[in-house]
Amino acid sequence: MSMAELPFHFDQRPVVVVMGVSGSGKSTIGEALAARLGLPFLDADDYHPPANVDKMSQGIPLTDADRWPWLKSLGLAMNDAAAKAGGVIATCSALKRVYRTTLSGQVGLPLIYVLLDGDRDTLFARMNARKDHYMPPSLLDSQLAALERPETDEPALTCAIDRPVAEIIDEIAVTLDEWTDPGS
């Protein structure tokens, strides 16, 4: 497939956002991808203000008003990390297109989203197996209801989570290589 036939092409190394609902493996995949590419890793959970963490810990879904400052903080951190390292891998649920648009605007660099996709039963089982995480499994259904899958005009790759981490990382790395040409 020639560059003209690819769905997306970036003249510089894009910033990658590993997205999906809770339990999809964002942190695991994000950390492994960052290690493979030699880039810094940012976990969006680290940028939530304490009030957001308190709400989620109580099983209360966040509102859009709760998310805007969080997305701004994460976006600025991503921009800073990318400027220093030439790229960055971040996680963020990025459930709605408006969140992705806001985050992209904050970062100010080309972004590629990687949606980690799985069925409800798999996600619920993963959430139940986690220890010491503030996001209770009771919020899974609200996250699935809020999820707006990336449209064809968004630079996004969807990866099934029902396979080994190494396979998922390989798929992402191949796609990033196809979509980017830092030398042009």
For residue 77, being part of any structural domain is answered with yes
Cα separations (Å) of 79 from 12, 36, 70, 167?
Answer: 14, 20, 14, 28
For residue 24, being part of any structural domain is answered with no
Report how far residue 44's alpha carbon sits from residue 87's, in angstroms, rounded to the nearest whole number.
16
For residue 91, being part of any structural domain is answered with yes
* Cβ–Cβ < 8 Å for 6, 184: no
For residue 36, being part of any structural domain is answered with yes
Q: Which residues contact 162 (CB under 8 A, 6 or more apart)?
A: 118, 122
For residue 17, being part of any structural domain is answered with no
Q: Work out the mean pLDDT of the chain and round it to a whole number.
A: 84
The CATH number of residue 57's host domain is: 3.40.50.300
Q: Provide the pLDDT for residue 12.
A: 65
Domain range for residue 170? 32-178
Q: Which amino acid is at 155?
A: P
Q: With CA atoms as reference, report the closest residue to 22 among 102, 91, 70.
A: 91
For residue 13, being part of any structural domain is answered with no
Each residue's pLDDT tens digit, 63-120: 889 989 999 999 999 999 999 998 999 999 888 999 999 999 999 888 999 999 988 7
Each residue's pLDDT tens digit, 120-133: 787 777 766 666 65
Tokens of residue 134, six digits: 């503030």
Each residue's pLDDT tens digit, 50-60: 888 888 788 78
For residue 6, being part of any structural domain is answered with no
Q: How many domains, in total, are found in the chain?
A: 1
For residue 25, being part of any structural domain is answered with no
Report how far residue 157's alpha carbon sits from residue 63's, in angstroms, rounded to the nearest whole number.
26
